[in-house]
Amino acid sequence: MSEYAELIRRWKEAAILGSCGGVLGWDERTYMPRNGSAHRAEQMALIARLCHEMTTHPKNGEFLTAAETSNPDDDAKANLREIRRAYDRAVKLPPDLVEELARVTTQAQQAWTDARAASDYSKFQPWLEKIVALKRREAAAVGYKDHPYDALLDEFEPGATTASIRALFADLAADLTPLVAALLASPRKPDRGILHRDFPVETQKSFGRMAAETIGFQFDSGRLDVTTHPFCTGLGPGDVRITTRYNPKHFNESFFGVLHECGHAIYEQNLPGEHFGTPLGVAVSLGIHESQSRLWENQVGRGQPFWEFFFPKAQQAFPCLSDVKLDDFLFAINDVQASFIRVEADEATYNLHIILRFELEQAIVSGDLKVADVPGAWNERFRKMFGINPPDDAKGCLQDIHWSFGGLGYFATYTLGNLYAAQFMDRVRQDLGGPQLDDDFRAGRFGRLKEWLTDRIHRHGQRYRAGELCRRVTGRELSHKPFIEYLRTKYEPLYGV
């Protein structure tokens, strides 16, 4: 067996063990009894340590070096490039740090759930302090050029730096802030009460499942369950799981959450299964992953052609919508307002939520902001950005699960996803024809869009880094301008600005 083949065999074996940990992680956030948290933490710590040992075995380094000098083909070059990146990062991390991170973050997720339910930051603060200390150790071990946050950001968006994201976000904010201000100042307002009527949970379940299946989620290779904070997890070929949460008095919360997670899941279901366990069978980055979820949730799912197909079905499923006109419903689901909860925010204000978190995380990691002072700093910045004050911790700094699982550096990828989604969709409409694509959606046909995404993005795995993939797919560098143009085209007619 060649050095490359043996390296791939070992890498796939570690991935299979990691997917076992993925099943435990999914169970923890869906069905595990709350008192199982401590034992689950030990299970996750053991799997994390074993995966780290398998990944960083000295033989892997030997096989990797030998394979890199053996004139590999294009597939092998892509795999070796990304395995080298992952291996070099992993060997810098002490095994005890990897194990302790898994142990602490597993227990912290249960602590976060309890703290959020009680709207009491003090219940979560000790766990966040532990996590921040561990993530600072991780950043120091991995190394960074300018800011410790770089080392954490790079885990989720390879090649991105704090400075590059700051610059991109500054350009976005310069155009976004006046647009949001104009929309909020408009006297035109939708009837928000349309979305806060009686929406029975069981009916929401069946309607959401129908919509997921229609846009392309394959239920024979996945499932939909309930959780506190919705997520998607790809456990391997033929097993991709999504979750949502239901509010019987709010239509948006579950339905658009399902569309969002379906975007992630369709990506996972269309990665090349034969490459599972290697970089060619893994998504490019979280920014690209988020582009798929935001594309289906917003670019498609909040558009008029989509609802020309789905609204009659919604009226049949939910009698409370029988007296509602389509135009009024569309205005309501595209309402722009200052709001507390990120996952329920409209497209125009959503990225302001991300910028707030991006700024806070840098301060937390650098030590400029003490963990104890997070609620006050959160509320102060929120008031400045949105003009409203979070009434409690649950609607403030406790609303997101990410810090509890160690996801410092994650949030920026949501805005990257919005920008990629707009740029990709602009290209889709050029390639497939905008009017023809709208006709597809009006007829409930989403196959051409799904096939385009699979051909241009999903099937490549990590063959290309995010920036190169964007250039290949759209012909240009990532820019905030297609996103701003998309917002203006949608919102200016609605709000008369």
222-226 and 232-236: which strand pairing?
A: unpaired
Any long-range contacts for 34-42 (C-beta under 8 Å, 24+ apart)? 34/110, 34/113, 34/114, 37/106, 37/107, 37/109, 37/110, 38/107, 40/106, 41/102, 41/103, 41/104, 41/106, 41/107, 42/103
Residue 89 structure tokens: 């990062």
Classify the C-alpha dihedral 389-391-396-397 as positive or negative. positive
Alpha carbon dihedral 253, 256, 257, 263, in 10-degree steps, equals 180
Contact 159, 466 (CB under 8 A): yes
CA 313 to chain centre: 28
Closest CA to 296 of 267, 260, 332, 349: 260
Residues known to be catalytic? 261
Q: How many CB atoms lie within 10 A of CB 74?
A: 8
